[in-house]
Amino acid sequence: MRAQTVTIVGMSRTGLSIALALKASGTALTIVGYDRFRELSQKAKDEIGAIDKAEWNLVNAAAEADILVLAVPLAELETNLMVIGDGLKPHALVLDLSVLKGRSLRWAEQHLKQGHYVGAVAVLSAAYLNDGRDEPEAATPDLFRGGMFCLMPSVKAEPRAVDTAVSFGRLLGATPYFVDPMEYDSLTQGVETLPGLAAAALFGTLQKSPGWRDMLRFANSSFALATQPLQNGTDITSLALNDKAATLRWLDAYLQELAELRSLIVSGDREMIDLTLGNLLIQREKWLKERIRDDWVEGVETKVDHPSMSDQLVGGWLGGKLRRDNHDKS
């Protein structure tokens, strides 16, 4: 049986890391890469070696795919779905990695005429939480190892297509975990939207200072990491406006925390300030240790005599669907 084709749209650090992980898995796959900036696709093939083929046409790239991975910003997602919606293989699995799932699911139902949509979120490995890098050159095959691979399938997706999405996550070294898309979007408001807005406020505050030019000479990694979320500019806007009431609640809570810290500083109570910061540091270290332990409970039903990941991804559902598709054409 021929190798199945995985097309990855978006040659970002995420897209390239997924490609490298699939390569490292040894699974018989042909990996096609597409990016609207052609030089990135070519670099992914010729210099990084993450993909087997660089495709310059989105429609053609999607039409080849047995598994289509959309690793693009939310601002580009609907346009991509509109462009590829009529040209997918009937059996194609579409994995969307954008930051919001409620809206993405609606777009998929509106624009995808065939194929099986599964919303997904690849959560970063604990080993890379503090590196602050987002450029394609920072791609690595273990970027998602030990993290969660959150899955939010469309109600129209066939169960065995969802099984293939589960196996795909395992090939990345991640733990598959099913979550409600509305619940995911709500939780994301806190851990994605708020850091982005806080980074914007921090950078804006200092940039407006009379001493800004001099500060630039001394700005170190703490400032760079704290403002790094600004790189996700369009996604921050989409997240903030997706649920304005929730965003405002998080901002109000954040402002309250700042006000309490301000009150402590006004009081000059060094012991209380140290205690407050120390307790927060303990909670942060606890969170990091939980991430490093990688002891998440897998949110999928365990089956007896389950085929191997490679067999399920390559030879199971996709193989059967391919045989039926080819039979229907004959």
CATH code of residue 38: 3.40.50.720
Beta-bridge partner residues of 67: 6, 93
Domain count, the chain: 2
Q: Are residues 101 and 151 in the same domain?
A: yes
What pLDDT sits at residue 323? 42
CATH number of residue 252's parent domain? 1.10.3660.10
Residue 262 belongs to domain spanning: 186-293
* E-only strand ranges, 169-239: 175-178
Q: Are residues 197 and 236 in contact, defined by beta-carbon separation less than 8 angstroms?
A: yes
What are 79's two structure tokens?
Answer: 């346009």
Within the chain, strands assigned E span 4-9, 29-34, 53-54, 67-70, 93-96, 116-122, 148-153, 175-178
CA dihedral in degrees (168, 144, 78, 235; nearest 10)?
170
Token code pair at residue 94: 């579409």
Q: Per-10-residue mean pLDDT for the chain, 330 residues long?
A: 84 97 95 96 95 96 97 94 95 95 94 96 91 88 94 93 95 94 89 93 94 90 90 85 91 96 96 96 91 64 40 49 45
Do 257 and 311 lie in a common domain? no
* 212 lies in the same domain as 263: yes
Predicted TM-score (pTM) above 0.95: no
> What are the distances in angstroms from CA 94 to CA 50, 80, 306?
20, 12, 23
- Taking CA atoms, 307 is separated from 15, 171, 304, 312, 320, in Å, by 26, 13, 9, 6, 14
Strand order in the sheet with 29-34: 53-54, 29-34, 4-9, 67-70, 93-96, 116-122, 148-153, 175-178
Contacts (Cβ under 8 Å, ≥6 apart) of 299 = 151, 175, 176, 177, 178, 179
Give me the pLDDT at residue 172, please: 96
Kindly state the tokens that stand for 198. 């806080």
In a domain, 287, yes or no: yes
Task: Tell me: do 34 and 126 sit in the same domain.
Answer: yes
